[in-house]
């Protein structure tokens, strides 16, 4: 019988030989399970081969299992709990209220994230996130304060940048939510801008919103993402309890704020009065009509969610004074103080005005009788609880 040309495999390499013919499944063949076969224990796909247990793609290889480079990392990532994946906490801010963001990060004991946020000469806004946020739990702190529209655009562009940087979860922290008064169609052919802003935040990349004392509670329903609304009342109540005022009444500036004013009155264990008013036109002018409740011979604490042009507030001060109140204190969460607000408050007979730092206050607006309470610790506590998956309600108990 004429010898046939066979195949000899040595360390995974095949050579032609004059050896007797052998099948591909033989002990020395191409697909042999023998120590030197291509698929054998020493072959390309064997235990020590390129794809074997110890090979490049094997259990212990470059792309393999327990000692592999890529599969092991993928295994670790896929087997992490949600808490472990969200362990990376990042805080960023725009230019609206950097001081508040710094104070919040200080309470959290983490550095403020590095980001470039500025406006070109053509008024286009540029944002660059300089920190790695891939897989991180990111909070962007930005009140919608003056200039309002620029503050909103900075927030939206930052959300988009963080989304494209593969952040796992992005929370828009908005201490002051502008356009809160346009929450319904109260006239023909007018927009619901509060809803529009909510849609823009969601589309830009926000997974949840953290805010404080919205003008109307129903704005939460404009969002299809979770919304946590904090209140400054716990800080305000603590401040006025320390003043140890006797015989004082909490006064709501209008019927719409009566419910929230009642909550503060309950915290202070004080009676409630309500100023009747009506708003004339769209220019913010109001007219106070009278008062429901008694303030005669008592201190009055007039409360509202914000002080804008101070029209409603100064009207309430006048009515309360006419009804025999003693010292008058005013309290609000957001001190916008736009237009004639400073002039009106300076001329009003108010013993003390108490606001928070949800909106930055310029020097010319710092009246001698103005007190600013910080909400940094409150927001830091909420951010910590959201990050850890705990209840935010714990802050108010």
Report the run of H or E that residue 372 belongs to, with start and end.
strand 370-373
195, burial (CB in 10 Å: exposed 0-12, middle 13-18, buried 19+): middle
| Whole-number Å distance between alpha carbons of 314 and 344 | 7
Mark whether 277 is an active-site residue: yes
Question: Which parts of the chain fold into alpha helices (H)?
Answer: 71-78, 82-85, 98-108, 148-164, 193-204, 233-243, 258-268, 311-322, 341-347, 376-388
Tokens 């309890």 -> residue: 241
d(CA 128, CA 190): 36
Which residues are CB-neighbours of 311 under 8 A, at least 6 positions away? 284, 285, 286, 344
Task: Please list, in sequence order, all residues whose beta carbon lies within 8 angstroms of the beta carbon of residue 98, skipping any fewer than 6 positions away.
Answer: none
Question: Active site residue: 73, 163, 277, 365, which one?
Answer: 277
DSSP character at residue 28 = T
SS3 content of the chain, % helix, strand, coil (to 5): 30, 25, 45
Catalytic positions: 277
């Amino acid at each position: 019988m004429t010898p046939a040309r066979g195949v000899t495999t040595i360390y995974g390499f095949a050579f032609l030989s004059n050896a007797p013919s052998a099948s591909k499944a033989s002990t020395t063949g191409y697909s042999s399970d023998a120590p030197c076969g291509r698929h054998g224990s020493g072959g390309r796909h064997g235990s020590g081969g390129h794809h074997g247990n110890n090979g490049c793609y094997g259990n212990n290889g470059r792309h393999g299992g327990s000692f592999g480079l890529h599969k092991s990392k993928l295994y670790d990532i896929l087997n992490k709990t949600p808490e472990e994946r969200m362990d990376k906490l990042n805080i960023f801010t725009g230019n609206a209220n950097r001081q508040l963001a710094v104070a919040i990060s200080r309470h959290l004991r983490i550095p403020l994230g590095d980001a470039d946020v500025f406006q070109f000469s053509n008024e286009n806004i540029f944002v660059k996130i300089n920190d790695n946020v891939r897989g991180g739990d990111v909070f962007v702190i930005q009140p919608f304060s003056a200039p309002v529209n620029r503050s909103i655009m900075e927030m939206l562009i930052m959300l988009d940048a963080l989304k494209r940087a593969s952040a796992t979860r992005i929370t828009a922290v908005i201490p002051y939510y502008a356009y809160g008064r346009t929450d319904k169609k109260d006239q023909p052919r007018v927009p619901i801008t509060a809803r529009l802003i909510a849609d823009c935040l969601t589309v830009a990349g926000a997974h949840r919103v953290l805010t404080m004392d919205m003008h109307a509670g129903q704005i939460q329903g404009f969002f299809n993402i979770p919304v946590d609304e904090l209140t400054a009342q716990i800080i305000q109540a603590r401040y006025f309890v320390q003043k140890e005022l006797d015989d004082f009444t909490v006064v709501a500036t209008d019927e719409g704020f009566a419910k929230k004013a009642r909550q503060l009155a309950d915290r202070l264990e004080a009676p409630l009065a309500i100023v009747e008013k009506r708003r004339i036109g769209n220019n913010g002018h109001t007219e106070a009509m009278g008062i429901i409740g008694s303030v005669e011979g008592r201190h009055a604490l007039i409360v509202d969610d914000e002080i804008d042009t101070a029209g409603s507030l100064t009207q309430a001060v006048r009515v309360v004074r006419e009804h025999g109140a003693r010292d008058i204190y005013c309290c609000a969460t957001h001190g916008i103080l736009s237009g004639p607000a400073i002039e009106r408050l300076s001329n009003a007979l108010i013993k003390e005005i108490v606001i928070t730092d949800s909106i930055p206050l310029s020097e010319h607006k710092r009246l001698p009788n103005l007190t600013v309470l910080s909400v940094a610790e409150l927001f830091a506590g909420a951010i910590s609880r959201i990050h850890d998956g705990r209840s935010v309600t714990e802050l108010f108990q």
